[in-house]
Amino acid sequence: MTTPPVCNYEGSDYQTSFWDQGGRAYEDQAEAIALKRMLPKSGNLMLELGAGAGRNTPRYAGFERVVLLDYSTTQLQQAQERLGRSDRYIYAAADIYRLPFLDGLFDAATMIRALHHMADAPKALAQVRNVLQPNAVFILEFANKLNLKAIFRYLLGRQKWSPFALEPVEFVELNFDFHPKAIRNWLEELGFSIEKTLTVSHFRLGLLKKVIPAKILAALDGVFQPTGRLFQLTPSVFVKSKVKGDALSLSKGQRSGSMVIPEKPAAFFKCPECGGTELIDMGDHLKCSHCNSRWAVRDGIYDFREQLK
């Protein structure tokens, strides 16, 4: 099966260089405000797509368990160091275009600062849709091509691509900006109903971040975030949507809107090769009873990127 290219952070010190030491305390705190406004107060099983080193994971405290998914095992190892190993956190390395989870498993999912690496965003979003229960909440952040800086650059002739066109723009390899209307269209076509839109990072300017403390700047950002209901002109946009409750054909034994979540994490998965839902836990790997594909389990990380030989 051919899938779109994947942006791989294997071996990267992204958390340290970009967040911890990259002067982005304001952005981190502003995103925390947006998430708090959108997250359900409680839930059973959260899927965090593009979890990286677990920067946002502690913010999902209302959920009983959280599955952290990333393509990079390096990032997941860093998340383990941050969060520890426990029954509450499940770590999975996989391709988002071939999610290895049972259909209708999760009652919530987030994708923060990850969609901008998707060469085929609709295909990735469709995969997310498949693993969500009816009425599940999906919180999506995307890089907005219709931001003020891009609009001014285009109008002044300093930028060739139009921020008003619906198609994504790839400004660096595997780095995409999206039009808000395109995102809304894709979500609605997949059976999501949009409940809330917040604009984030209103003050992403180097000079402002130097002279105004991050906490104050983030608080100001929080004041303006609800304007996303009317217009979206910031570099980052958060969308809260919900899976419509009358859809999704669940797998055998599942009940619409009230799936019994397996106790053992190994039972969360399906084979990304054949779609088989019966994986046998062999300790150091999972074996598909249908096609005999084997998927490694190393140091607490389920690895579905490539089959074991």
CA–CA distance from 177 to each of 66, 70, 116, 146, 159 (Å)? 28, 20, 6, 9, 14
* Residue 249 in this model has a pLDDT that exceeds 70: no
194 closest CA partner among 202, 185, 203: 185
* Residue 255 in this model has a pLDDT that exceeds 60: no
* Residue 71 in this model has a pLDDT that exceeds 70: yes
93, 9 contact by CB (below 8 A) = no
Across the range 6-18, mean pLDDT stands at 95
In the chain, domain spans = 14-261
pLDDT at 258: 57
CA–CA distance from 28 to each of 15, 123, 142, 272 (Å)? 12, 28, 15, 33
pLDDT at 1: 62
| pTM of the full structure | 0.95
pLDDT at 259: 72
Over its C-alpha atoms, the chain yields an Rg (Å, rounded) of 19
163, 235 contact by CB (below 8 A) = no
Q: What is the pLDDT of residues 83-102, one digit of tens each?
A: 999 999 999 999 999 999 99
* Residue 132 in this model has a pLDDT that exceeds 60: yes
Q: What is the pLDDT of residues 175-188, one digit of tens each?
A: 999 999 999 999 99
Across the range 45-69, mean pLDDT stands at 98
Across the range 157-185, mean pLDDT stands at 97
* Residue 146 in this model has a pLDDT that exceeds 60: yes
pLDDT bracket for residue 2 (50, 70, 90): confident
Across the range 170-174, mean pLDDT stands at 96
Give the percent of the chain with pLDDT over 90.
Answer: 93
Distance between CA atoms of residues 52 and 41, nearest Å:
23
pLDDT bracket for residue 253 (50, 70, 90): very low
pLDDT at 245: 81
pLDDT at 261: 87
Across the range 128-157, mean pLDDT stands at 98
Distance between CA atoms of residues 96 and 94, nearest Å:
6
Mean pLDDT computed over every residue of the chain: 94
* Residue 271 in this model has a pLDDT that exceeds 60: yes
pLDDT at 260: 81
* Residue 248 in this model has a pLDDT that exceeds 90: no
* Residue 246 in this model has a pLDDT that exceeds 70: no
Q: Where are the beta strands (DSSP E) in the chain?
A: 43-49, 63-70, 89-93, 106-111, 132-143, 169-172, 175-177, 192-200, 236-243, 279-281, 285-288, 294-298, 301-303
Work out the angle at residue 258's Cα, subtended by the Cα atoms of residues 252 and 263, and round it to the nearest 5 degrees.
75
The CATH fold assigned to 14-261 is Rossmann fold (3.40.50)
Distance between CA atoms of residues 196 and 5, nearest Å:
31
Phi, psi values for residue 99, rounded to 5°: -65, 135
* Residue 45 in this model has a pLDDT that exceeds 90: yes
* Residue 166 in this model has a pLDDT that exceeds 50: yes
* Residue 257 in this model has a pLDDT that exceeds 60: no
* Residue 283 in this model has a pLDDT that exceeds 80: yes
